[in-house]
A and B are shown apart, each in its own frame.
Chain A
C-alpha cells in the first residue's frame, strides 16, 4: 500500500484539519488506553492491585505470578493446541477445496458450472447464526457433539463460503499457461497441481489470514458444540477462567493479555499482509 504519494492535494481549511487530527488522536487513545490498563494491571499482586491506582505502573514488571497461575489453572497449553489444530485443518482444507472447486468451475468447462457456482454463492446470504439450532441437531445426530470433530467439521464447512475468493484469483491466471501445458500432453490434474496451485499462493495467504482471525475469534462453535474441558479453545478457556476469577482483575487481565498477544505479534510482523488480506476478503 503505497499511500504516501496517493493522497490527493485538495486543500481542506485549517479548522477541518484540526478536527481531523483531533479525531485520529482520540481514536488512537481509545484503542491503546484499554490495552495499557490491562497490561499494567496484569503484573500486579493482589495487595498491590487493591492499594495502587489502576493506571499506575506495577512495582515489578517481572512479577509473572498471575500468568503462572493462569497457565496452571486455565489449561491454556491445551486450549492453544486445540485452537492451532482447528486453524491448521481449516487452512489446509480450505486451500485444497477452494482451489479444486475454482479449477473445476473455471477451467474444466463442465456443463453446469454456472449453476454450481450459484450453489456456492447463495449460502453467503443465509445469516449463519440463525441456523445454529438445526446445525446443533445435525451435529448431534452425526454423534459429533462434544468431540474434536465437531470443530474440525464446522470450521471446514465455514470455509466453503470463502470459495468465491479462489474463483476471483483463478480468473487472473492466464489461460495460455494451462493451454500450452495441455499441448505438451499434461493431464488436467497435472495442470491443476503444477500450474494453477503455484499461481494461487497469494489467494492461499489471504484465506489463511481470514481463517486464523476467524477461528481464533470464534466463540459459538466451541461454546455450543464442545463444552468438554479437554476440548476448550482459547476463547472458551478464558470464559471458564472468568467464571472462577472474573472479579480478580489482576488475574483476569493476565488472561486477557495472554489471549491477545499471539495475534498482536502476528499483526506486528505481518501487518501489511493482514490488512491486504482482510480487504481482499471483504471486497472481492
Chain B
C-alpha cells in the first residue's frame, strides 16, 4: 500500500518533470533561435567577413588575411571620421552634465516642475529624422529663423554648418537637443528614490544645498551615472543619423563623416563589405575598451571612497 503510493507519487513527479522540461524548451526555443541568429551569429560572422573580400552581392568570397585591417589602419578618411566622432562623444558629456544638473534642480523645491519636466523630455519621443530635418532648417544660413532673429536685434547671422570641424559639433548638438530629456527623467527617477529623511537629517546637521547634493544625491546615483555613461559612450561612438541625413554623401571631403557613416558607405556605396566588417570589428573593440576602462575607473573610485 505504502509502496504503491510512493510509486504513484514518483510517477507523478516524473510526469511533472517532463512537463517542466517540455514547456521550458518550447518557451525558450524561438527566443533563443532569434538570439543566436541575430545577436551571436552576426558578431561571429562580422569577424569572418572582416578577413574576406565579400562584395555584398556574390555568394562566395575569398579570404584575404589581415589586408582589410591594414587598409583601414592606413586610411586617412577613417582617421578623419574618428576625429569627427569625438565631437559627438564630447557633446555626450556636455549633455549628461546638463541632464544631471537639470534633474537635481527639478528634484528640489521649484515651481512648475512638472511643466518643465514635460517640455524638456518632449524631444525624446519625436521622430529622429524629423528632428534632423528641423535642424537643417534652423542651421540653413539663409532660411534659419534663428539668423532672422539675430539680424533683427542687430547681430550677425551665424554659419551653423561651417566648412570646418565645428560643423560636427553642430550636428552633435541635434543629438543633445533630442536626448537631453531622457537623461533628465532617468536621473530624476533615481534621485526621487533617495529616502527624503536623509536630506532632513542633513538639514538638521546644517548642511548646505551643495553639500547635500555632493554628499547625498550624487553618491546615491552612481550606478545610474555609470549606466548613462555606458549608454552615452556606445551611442555617441556609433552616431550616424545626424550626419547621414544632413550630408548624405559625408559632406565635402568627408567633413561630416562619422565612424558609422564611413563604415556604411564603404559597405553600401563602394561594395567593400569585407573592409567595412573590419571597421565594424575595430569600432566594436574600441567601444568595449572604452566602456571597460570607464567601469574600472569608476570601480576604483568607489573602492577608495
A interface residue numbers (CB < 8 A to B): 1, 3, 6-13, 16, 20-21, 23-24, 27-28, 30-35, 37-38, 41, 53-55, 97, 100-101, 103-105, 108-110, 116, 119-120, 123, 125-138, 140-141, 153-154, 156-157, 160-161, 163, 187-189, 192, 213, 216-217, 219-220, 223-224, 234-235, 238-239, 242, 246-247, 249, 252-253, 255-256, 259-260, 263-264, 266-267, 271, 274-275, 278-279, 282-283
Contact = CB atoms under 8 A, between A and B. Distances in A.
Interface of B: 19-21, 23-24, 27-28, 30-32, 34-35, 37-43, 45-46, 48-49, 54, 56, 59, 101-102, 105-110, 113-114, 116-130, 133-138, 140, 143-145, 148-149, 177, 180-182, 185-186, 189-190, 192, 196, 199-200, 202-203, 207-209, 212, 224, 227-228, 231, 234, 237-238, 240-241, 244-245, 260, 263-264, 267-268, 273, 276-277, 280-281, 283-284, 287-288, 291
A131 B43 CA distance: 6
Most interface-central of B20, B117, B137, B196 (chain A CB within 10 A):
B137
Given A131-B280, A275-B121, A10 B207 contact: yes
Contact of B281 (A55, A130, A156, A242): A130
Determine chain A's interface SS by DSSP, over half rule: helix
A123 B209 CA distance: 41
B56 A10 contact: no
Contacts of B45: 131, 134, 137-138
A116 B227 CA distance: 23
B277 A134 contact: yes
14 contacts: A8-B200, A24-B110, A24-B116, A28-B119, A34-B134, A97-B30, A101-B28, A103-B27, A127-B287, A132-B267, A133-B46, A160-B39, A249-B140, A283-B227
A266 B125 contact: yes
Contact of A55 (B126, B149, B202): B149
B122 A31 contact: yes
Most interface-central of B38, B196, B276 (chain A CB within 10 A):
B38
Contacts of A235: 127-129
A155 to B, nearest CB: 10
Contacts of B138: 34, 37
Contact of B264 (A24, A104, A110, A132): A132
B212 A10 contact: yes
Nearest to B112: A24
B203 A252 contact: no
B227 to A, nearest CB: 7
A127 B110 CA distance: 39
Nearest to A262: B127
Given A137-B45, A224-B268, A282-B231, A129 B134 contact: no
Nearest to A212: B125
Contact of B34 (A20, A157, A242, A279): A157
B192 to A, nearest CB: 6
A219 B244 contact: yes
A188 B20 contact: yes
B133 A255 contact: yes
Contact of B224 (A27, A34, A283): A283
B49 to A, nearest CB: 6
A260 B143 contact: no
B31 to A, nearest CB: 5
Most interface-central of A125, A129, A217 (chain B CB within 10 A):
A129
A134 B283 CA distance: 14
Nearest to B240: A129
Most interface-central of A8, A130, A238 (chain B CB within 10 A):
A130
Nearest to B104: A20
Contacts of A249: 137, 140, 143
B27 A101 contact: yes
A123 B42 CA distance: 11
A188 B124 contact: no
Contacts of B199: 8-10
A217 B108 contact: no
B174 to A, nearest CB: 10
A127 B106 CA distance: 32
B237 to A, nearest CB: 7
A226 B12 CA distance: 52
A259 B281 CA distance: 35
Nearest to A188: B23
A135 B133 contact: no
A136 B56 contact: yes
B113 A278 contact: no
Contacts of B244: 219, 223
